[in-house]
């Protein structure tokens, strides 16, 4: 798997994640591959209750 999705010879300058799934299980008949890039991060010490976007709404 490439360090940068779609660019096998590039060096990663961001934090990437690749998620894969298949159906039926362990088959390549139907496969989904999704790439993402980390936009921001915070430590548990900085946000002990987690990010506001995940807070339950009343």
What is the model's pTM?
0.59
Question: What is the chain's pLDDT, residue by residue, as a tens digit (58 residues)?
Answer: 788 888 889 888 889 989 999 999 888 899 999 999 988 888 889 988 888 887 776 5
Domain extents in the chain: 16-54
4 CB-contact burial (10 Å; exposed 0-12 / middle 13-18 / buried 19+): middle
**C-alpha span between 17 and 45 (Å, rounded):** 24
Per the CB < 8 A criterion, the answer to whether 51 and 43 are in contact is: no
Structure tokens that stand for 40 in this block = 């921001």
């Amino acid at each position: 798997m490439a360090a940068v999705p779609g660019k096998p010879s590039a060096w990663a300058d961001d934090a990437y994640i690749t998620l894969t799934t298949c159906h039926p299980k362990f088959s390549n008949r139907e496969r989904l591959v999704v790439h993402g890039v980390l936009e921001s991060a915070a430590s548990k010490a900085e946000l002990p209750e987690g990010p506001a976007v995940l807070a339950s709404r009343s």
